[in-house]
Amino acid sequence: MNSLSARIQNNPGRFLLLAFSVALVTAVGCTSSSVEQGVPEAVTSWAPVGERTVGEYEYGIIPQPNAFHTMHAGPNNTDTVWVATAPQVALSWVFETNFYVPEGPTYDNEGNLYFSPLFPQSPDFDVSLISLDADTGTRNWEIPGDGHNAGSGAILILNDPDNPGKQIIYHATYEEVMAIKPDGTILWQTPTGLTAPPTLEPGERSPAHSFGFNYHPRTDSLVSVTLGGVISAFKRTNGDMLAPLGQIPGAPAVSNDIGLPDFVVELSNAETDKVFGKTPSGQSFYETIVDVIFGGGSIITNYFAIDPNTSRIYVAATAPDEDDGNMDGLSELGAIYALDLVDDGSGGLEFEVLSSAQFEGGTGSTPAVSEDGQRVYVSDNVGNVIAYDSALSELWRFDVGSPVAASVAVSPDNRELYAVTRRDVFKLTDNGNSASLDWIAKLEAFEGYPEIEVVFQALTPTITANGIAVSVGGGTLIGDRALMLRVGVGLLDRETGLLRSFTEGREESIAVTTIRPDGGICTANSPVRRASGKALNPDLTEDLIGGISCYKPVRNDLLVRDATCAAGVRARNAATVAEAAPTSANQDIRQIQVLIDQSRAAIDRAVSDGDLEQASAGGLNTDLDSAEANLSIEGLAIAANDLLRVCNALPAE
């Protein structure tokens, strides 16, 4: 008896199953080349499992999340993009270094980047909005600030439904709002009805900061919120005001002790003063920004979310003054509000608060809404990540042990959440009525720098197809506070929390880890922790700068590998749920198409850079063509193997 016969006799059920599987493969038109492909060891072992969370809205006016098109990638603030992060990047350019940029940047589909600086100090730099070429950093054009720009948050990019394939840029300042073509042509420009105070008392915080626009699908309008809690809406098509100005309830938050000795604060203020000057009321950028980061001194200190399924608006702010039991003009409580534009009874619209919830300690976070709109996540200044349902009934809270310093990133896959404190990155799983901790990231960077005593997270995490894009800082300790000397960007493995790659950069950011369509990373330069590091260690770190830093993909062959691996395992999983959950599978198909497009562009760059032979590129493109041709509910299994074949044909590292 030969060995095969013996194995069949010993395990007949297994080989009957094998025979059935071969027959099934033959029936759907596969050949022996369709044997299931694995994933190389150098690539993450993370994969989506089961159905993904999907919203009931279309990507018409709202762009597909192939890059950051608004402050936190999309209108619901999930900090999730469908493309892969380049596994290896290099600092490509740093420009516009005179500007302090705490928000943005964002990208259009023509290769342009947009940002709005905070309080430009010199008449020579009095601008409200700047457009840069995302590849080179050269300035395309600017919108004048006219002497009263207080910053306007991230710039919103939407598709132009009247011109398929084109996009429009939407910009909101405190005093005016506008729509602009990517070439700088202004389509409309409208006053907001607000006027910035001409003078401020010494130390008084200006209320004239707008957090920029978000999109309200039901009314096809653009909504903006200011630092002082004023909310407004304008028609997307012509800029007409859609409703009277509204006011978010709440009083300015009690400022928190930033936990550093006064002499460190004074020295840090002096560092930002040298580079950026002072705010209009004479405050230093350093002290002002630290207070805002942790929710102090204002009613609203971060961006807001709009659920594209329902158009419900979610704003994290403060509670009314009286709710903390002490009528002193300040609030010791944080709050989240759900609002909408509703009928005012006379045929018009007005803002109405539909529900709210309060919590201890205030917040500096942006609310994040799950893709289906069923979960809303926010953080407080005590250390909790808090989950609510859409009506703001609390579902659970999870204490990560230290104040959460930014918004929570929400994945459509595997119920995953990512939150950061001053030092750590946490991966949580939303279990419905509770959350569990999966890992705390191991941020092992800056080897070979003896001056680096501590390594820590430095920015909001961004969820991408092949990992979590992060910023990592290295520096010294004063007490339990980390002072930054160096900074860079990296890619975390979603399965393990280990750094897969890391690249040192030039300046820190307090904004977001924004991903470009090509998988590169750009950050808005806004030094805070490095101001203290520079002040106390002037010989160990470079001078502070502002502007934008961009990291371009290098070794684009590795990017093709990661993107096709991510697409392949996604297609494989989608094939297992397609019959029971076609909506989920179709959303996966949309993301896989984005990854195929990204891979094709990366193949061209890899050939141009000499990292891939033209003949090899032709074979890879043939497999991508086959995958795209089979990109349907019925063809997902075949597409998965085509994509994984590309993945396995590329270098391991």
Residue 341's identity, in one-letter code, is L
Tell whether the model's pLDDT for residue 186 goes beyond 80.
yes
pLDDT at 253 (0 to 100): 80
What architecture is the 89-554 domain classified under in CATH? 7 Propeller (2.130)
Chain centroid offset of residue 459 CA: 10
* Residues 48-75 pLDDT 10s: 999 999 999 999 999 999 999 999 999 9
Which residues, listed in sequence order, are joined to residue 129 by a DSSP beta bridge?
143
For tokens 């918004």, the residue is 407
Q: pLDDT tens digits for 25-34?
A: 333 333 334 4
Helices 614-629 + 636-648 axis angle, to 10: 160
More confident residue, 286 or 13: 286
SS3 string, 136-199, reads CCCEEEEEECCCCCCCCCCCEEEECCCCCCCEEEEEECCCEEEEECCCCCEEEEEECCCCCCCC
pLDDT of the residue at 384: 93
Render pLDDT for 337-350 as a digit per residue (tens, 0 to 9).
Answer: 999 999 999 999 99
Closest CA relative to residue 474, chosen from 431, 427, 508: 508
The pLDDT score that the predictor gives to residue 42 is: 87
Q: How confident is the model at residue 296 (pLDDT cuts 50, 70, 90)?
A: low
Using one digit for the tens of pLDDT, what is the confidence trace for 109-130? 999 999 999 988 766 788 999 9
Minimum mean pLDDT range among 153-167, 255-269, 441-455, 579-593: 255-269
The reported pLDDT for the residue numbered 4 is: 29
Provide mean pLDDT across the span 397-423.
93
Tokens read off for 4? 């095969």
The C-alpha atoms of residue 568 and residue 217 are separated, in whole angstroms, by 33
Is the model's pLDDT at 164 over the cut of 50?
yes
Counting residues of the chain whose pLDDT is more than 90, the rounded percentage is: 76
Residue 281: its pLDDT value, please?
77
Burial class (CB in 10 A: 0-12, 13-18, 19+), 291: buried
Confidence (pTM): 0.93
Give the model's pLDDT for residue 507: 97
Distance CA 237, CA 39 (A): 47
Residue 22 has pLDDT above 70, yes or no: no
Query: Are residues 295 and 301 in contact, defined by beta-carbon separation less than 8 angstroms?
Result: yes
Tokens of residue 192, six digits: 């907001």
Tell me: pLDDT of 270 over 90: yes
**Confidence at 9, pLDDT banded by 50, 70, 90:** very low
User: Is the per-residue pLDDT at 282 higher than 80?
Assistant: yes
In the prediction, which pLDDT does 1 show? Answer: 35
Can you give the pLDDT at residue 17? 30
3-state secondary structure 234-291: EECCCCCECCCCEECCCCCECCCCCCCCHHHHHHHHHHHHHHHCECCCCCEHHHHHHH
pLDDT value at residue 321 = 86
pLDDT band at 36 (very low <50, low <70, confident <90, very high): low
Give residue 566's pLDDT. Answer: 98
Compute the distance between CA of residue 250 and CA of residue 335 in angstroms, rounded to an integer. Answer: 8
Q: What is the DSSP letter of 73?
A: S
Per-residue pLDDT at 11 exceeds 70:
no
Q: What is the pLDDT of residues 628-648, one digit of tens each?
A: 999 999 999 999 999 999 999
Identify the sign of the CA torsion 192, 69, 108, 473: positive
| The pLDDT value given to residue 14 | 31
